[in-house]
């Protein structure tokens, strides 16, 4: 049986994101960067709650959201596992979220006054840095 | 036997002379989970607890705890309620084991495993006198006693006040992960948002003896937003700003902390002459503080009302 994968994550109180959202974001990022792979088992609700000193219901809420979005799957009586990737959102929704993220990004960087070419080149390099780990 | 609400108050009022500590308070706290009550000093939290536990009679209105009239609690009812107050008052001259023995005899549902489990976090020796324990040790001992009693409802009045970081963490761990709390509803009052963010399922905000808000902490947080507007010269009259909690002018920019405002608020600011408008979400700490600060007593406000 697969052993529980350690979940190396930090949460911060006093953040504008609620703790459950911070957990969701961190787990998604770890799956996207292949730090967590399909089939890895996640810590139990109680285990992660104790690791982070937060209310178990907060972890349960984060896990439920990740499961509903298809990042995690539960195996009856065994726990939660990283799901095999599949397209989790409709094309329209993906496109909408991408537009939103781009708008946020633009708001942040526009004031920094870099030439668009340089911003694009740097973004491209960041993507390349992610890619090899993902295909590994 | 099992009631839907652990606490139910109807128009509960308590008057001390000219001052209303509780002002027609209608509060319903559902069974299960951890409920945090916050409020400025004097919001009525401790008065509420005293009435609920039957230590104090209300001036008017009614209060029910675990379905019973709080003024007519029997010893058996009291056995179903655990209470830890901020002073952790226990008889200073008694030894730890004598106090524990007294509780063992007193409560038929006594859970020795839970007692040891919680007390194991603290260096408390059975032969020590209560008066010789540190504040943190007393807090831990008090919580161990309350949890071992196997209560259906645990009421904690600022339990971690004055505890060091290690004692505080041990206290929170006992509260959240001890098996003894599995079937227990916890009502907890605190000023420490960092703790509430970690611990609470439900946030109850009291102000001047009235219920101002009740929801999950993140839902409350989402009601409050922080807007920054660049308004040359004078901004709009603060009294005309919708949902205003706090206004600051910093480096020539107007900072607004507002309640329940959506994108229309940007329009309001532009119509008031803003050249640029930005908004961001806030932390729970900021949201609650902004909310409570709005009506907090200040010398200026009192002069204005005088």
Tell me what pLDDT residue B21 has.
94
pLDDT at A100 over 80: yes
pLDDT at A136 over 70: no
Strand order of the β-sheet with B185-189 is: B81-84, B153-157, B185-189, B34-38, B202-207, B210-215
pLDDT at A61 over 60: yes
Identify the closest residue of chain B to A18 by CA–CA distance. Answer: B218
Domain presence at residue A53: yes
Contact B198 A19 (CB under 8 A): yes
Tell me what pLDDT residue B161 has.
81
Q: Are A74 and A23 in a shared domain? A: yes
End-to-end CA distance of chain B: 51
Tell me what pLDDT residue A131 has.
62
The shortest C-alpha distance from B20 to chain A (Å) reads 33
Nearby residues of B68 by Cβ (< 8 Å), 6 or more positions away: B74, B77
Q: Say how far apart CA B186 and CA B155 lie, in whole Å.
A: 6
In this complex, how many residue pairs, one in chain A and one in chain B, have their CB atoms less than 8 Å apart?
A: 54
CB contact at 8 A, A27 and A45: no
Name the domain boundary from A53, A82, A111. Answer: A82
Q: Say how far apart CA B100 and CA B35 lie, in whole Å.
A: 27
- Assess A104–B contact: CB distance below 8 Å, yes or no: no
Nearby residues of B210 by Cβ (< 8 Å), 6 or more positions away: B23, B24, B25
The burial class, CB within 10 Å (0-12 / 13-18 / 19+), for A21 is middle
Q: Are A70 and A95 in a shared domain? A: no
Q: Say how far apart CA A124 and CA A132 lie, in whole Å.
A: 13
Q: Are A39 and A77 in a shared domain? A: yes
**Structural domain span for residue A27:** 19-82
Contact B193 A53 (CB under 8 A): no
Q: Are A106 and A130 in a shared domain? A: yes
* Residue A41 banded pLDDT, cuts 50, 70, 90: very high
Phi and psi (nearest 5°) for A31? Answer: -75, -45
What are the chain B neighbours of A54 within 8 Å (beta carbons)?
A: 176, 198-199
pLDDT at A107 over 60: yes
Q: Say how far apart CA B174 and CA B155 lie, in whole Å.
A: 14
> Which stretches does DSSP call E strand in B192-262?
202-207, 210-215, 224-230, 244-250, 253-259
Q: Are A70 and A34 in a shared domain? A: yes
The shortest C-alpha distance from A14 to chain B (Å) reads 5
Domain presence at residue A12: no
* Residue A112 banded pLDDT, cuts 50, 70, 90: confident
CATH of the domain at A67: 1.10.10.10
Q: Are A78 and A96 in a shared domain? A: no
* Per-residue tokens: B94: 């008694």
What are the chain B neighbours of A64 within 8 Å (beta carbons)?
A: none
* Per-residue tokens: B273: 């002459």
Domain presence at residue A9: no
Domain presence at residue A28: yes
Q: Are A95 and A43 in a shared domain? A: no
Q: Say how far apart CA B131 and CA B95 lie, in whole Å.
A: 9
End-to-end CA distance of chain A: 23
pLDDT at A45 over 80: yes
Q: Say how far apart CA B180 and CA B162 lie, in whole Å.
A: 25
Q: Are A44 and A63 in a shared domain? A: yes
Contact B218 A15 (CB under 8 A): no
CB contact at 8 A, B210 and B198: no
Helices (H), chain B: 45-52, 75-79, 96-106, 112-119, 135-148, 165-177, 193-199, 217-223, 264-271, 284-294, 299-305
Structural domains of chain B ordered from first start:
5-215 (3.40.50.300), 222-305 (3.30.70)
**ipTM (interface pTM):** 0.74
Q: Are A103 and A48 in a shared domain? A: no
Q: Which residues of chain B have pLDDT under 50?
A: 1, 301-306
Tell me what pLDDT residue B90 has.
84
Position with higher pLDDT, A108 vs A87: A108
Q: Chain A window 20-79: which residues touch B at a Cβ cutoff of 8 Å?
A: 20-21, 46, 49-50, 53-58
CB contact at 8 A, A38 and A83: yes
Contact A14 B173 (CB under 8 A): no
Q: Are A63 and A116 in a shared domain? A: no
Total number of domains constituting chain A: 2
CB contact at 8 A, B88 and B142: yes
Q: Dihedral of the CA atoms B205, B208, B212, B216 (nearest 10)?
A: 0
Q: Dihedral of the CA atoms B113, B160, B286, A22 (nearest 10)?
A: -30
The shortest C-alpha distance from B86 to chain A (Å) reads 22
What are the chain B neighbours of A60 within 8 Å (beta carbons)?
A: none
What are the chain A neighbours of B201 within 8 Å (beta carbons)?
A: 55, 57
Q: Are A66 and A119 in a shared domain? A: no
For an interface test with B, the pick among A18, A20, A47 (most B C-beta atoms closer than 10 Å) comes out as A18
Type and span of the H or E element at B1: none
Domain presence at residue A4: no
CB contact at 8 A, B254 and B200: no
As a whole number, the mean pLDDT across chain A is 86
The shortest C-alpha distance from A104 to chain B (Å) reads 12
Find the mean pLDDT for residues A99-117.
Answer: 89
Pairing of strands B34-38, B202-207: parallel
Contact B194 A14 (CB under 8 A): yes
Contact A53 B198 (CB under 8 A): yes
The shortest C-alpha distance from B101 to chain A (Å) reads 31
Tell me what pLDDT residue B10 has.
96
Percent of chain B past pLDDT 90, that is, above it, reads: 61
Identify the closest residue of chain B to A13 by CA–CA distance. Answer: B194
């Amino acid at each position: 049986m697969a052993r529980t994968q350690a979940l190396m994550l930090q949460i911060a109180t006093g953040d504008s994101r609620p703790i459950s959202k911070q957990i969701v974001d961190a787990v998604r990022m770890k799956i996207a960067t292949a730090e967590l792979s399909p089939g890895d088992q996640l810590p139990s609700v109680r285990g992660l709650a104790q690791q982070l000193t937060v209310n178990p219901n907060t972890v349960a809420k984060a896990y439920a959201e990740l499961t509903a979005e298809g990042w995690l799957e539960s195996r009856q009586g065994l726990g939660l596992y990283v799901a095999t990737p599949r397209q989790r959102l409709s094309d329209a929704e993906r496109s909408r979220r991408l537009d939103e993220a781009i708008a946020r990004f633009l708001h942040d960087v526009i004031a920094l006054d870099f030439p668009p070419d340089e911003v694009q080149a740097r973004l491209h390099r960041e993507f390349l840095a992610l890619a090899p780990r993902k295909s590994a | 036997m099992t009631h839907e609400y652990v606490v139910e108050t109807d128009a509960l009022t308590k008057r001390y002379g000219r001052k209303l500590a509780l002002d027609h308070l209608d509060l319903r706290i559902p069974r299960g989970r951890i409920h945090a009550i916050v409020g400025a000093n004097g919001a009525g939290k401790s008065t509420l607890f005293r009435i609920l536990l039957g230590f104090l009679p209300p001036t008017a209105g009614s209060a029910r705890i675990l379905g019973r009239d709080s003024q007519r609690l029997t010893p058996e009812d009291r056995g179903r309620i655990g209470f830890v107050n901020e002073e952790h008052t226990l008889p200073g001259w008694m030894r730890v084991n004598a106090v524990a023995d007294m509780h063992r005899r007193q409560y038929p549902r006594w859970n020795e495993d839970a007692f040891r489990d919680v007390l194991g976090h603290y260096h408390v020796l059975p032969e020590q006198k209560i008066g010789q324990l540190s504040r943190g040790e007393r807090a831990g001992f008090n919580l161990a006693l309350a949890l071992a009693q196997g209560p259906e409802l645990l009421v904690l009045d600022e339990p971690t006040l004055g505890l060091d970081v290690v004692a505080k963490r041990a206290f929170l761990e006992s509260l959240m992960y001890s098996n003894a709390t599995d079937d227990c509803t916890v009502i907890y009052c605190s000023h420490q948002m960092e703790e509430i963010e970690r611990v609470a399922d439900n946030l109850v905000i009291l102000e001047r003896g009235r219920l101002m808000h009740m929801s999950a902490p993140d839902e409350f947080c989402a009601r409050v937003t922080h807007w920054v507007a660049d308004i040359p010269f004078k901004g709009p009259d603060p009294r005309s700003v919708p949902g205003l909690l706090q206004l600051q002018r910093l480096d020539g920019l107007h900072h607004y902390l507002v309640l329940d405002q959506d994108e229309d608020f940007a329009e309001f600011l532009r119509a008031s002459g803003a050249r640029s408008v930005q908004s961001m979400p806030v932390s729970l700490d900021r949201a609650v503080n902004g909310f409570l600060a709005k009506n907090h007593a200040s010398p200026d406000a009192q002069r204005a009302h005088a």
